[in-house]
């Protein structure tokens, strides 16, 4: 779970860098003829879309894994209803989802 949080933090940093890149590559009036703003914007857009697609995939994977753990813990909880530690762990995992 912590690894996934770290990956999301890195991806947010990528978004920040893309926004910064966009702000610094849009040509001013004196550089309009020297830079292909359309191509630059297309490249930045593609980078942003790739980052968001990757982030979405990681989030969905995390949800699936955590849901699987919750399902397993629920099954164990049905067998041992008096286990307080198991109940706490189940609640913790449910909160993650």
pLDDT tens profile 18-45: 778 777 776 666 665 666 767 777 887 8
Q: What is the pLDDT of residue 35?
A: 67
pLDDT band at 71 (very low <50, low <70, confident <90, very high): very high
Question: DSSP character for 30?
Answer: G
Residue positions counted in the chain: 97
Position of tokens 């993650």? Answer: 96
CA dist 87 and 31 (Å) reads 64
pLDDT for residue 46 is more than 80: yes
Q: Tell me the whole-structure pTM to 2 decimals.
A: 0.60
Averaged confidence pLDDT in the chain? 81
Contact of 66 with 96, CB cutoff 8 Å? yes
The closest of 55, 48, 56 to 19, measured between CA atoms, is 48
Contact of 55 with 14, CB cutoff 8 Å? no
């Amino acid at each position: 779970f912590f690894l996934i949080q770290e990956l999301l933090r890195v991806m947010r940093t990528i978004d920040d860098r893309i926004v910064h890149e966009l702000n610094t590559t849009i040509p001013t009036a004196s550089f309009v003829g020297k830079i292909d703003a359309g191509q630059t914007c297309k490249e930045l857009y593609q980078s942003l879309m790739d980052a968001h697609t990757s982030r979405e995939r990681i989030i969905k994977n995390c949800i699936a894994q955590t849901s699987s753990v919750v399902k397993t813990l629920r099954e164990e909880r049905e067998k041992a209803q008096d286990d307080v530690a198991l109940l706490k762990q189940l609640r913790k995992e449910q909160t993650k989802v």
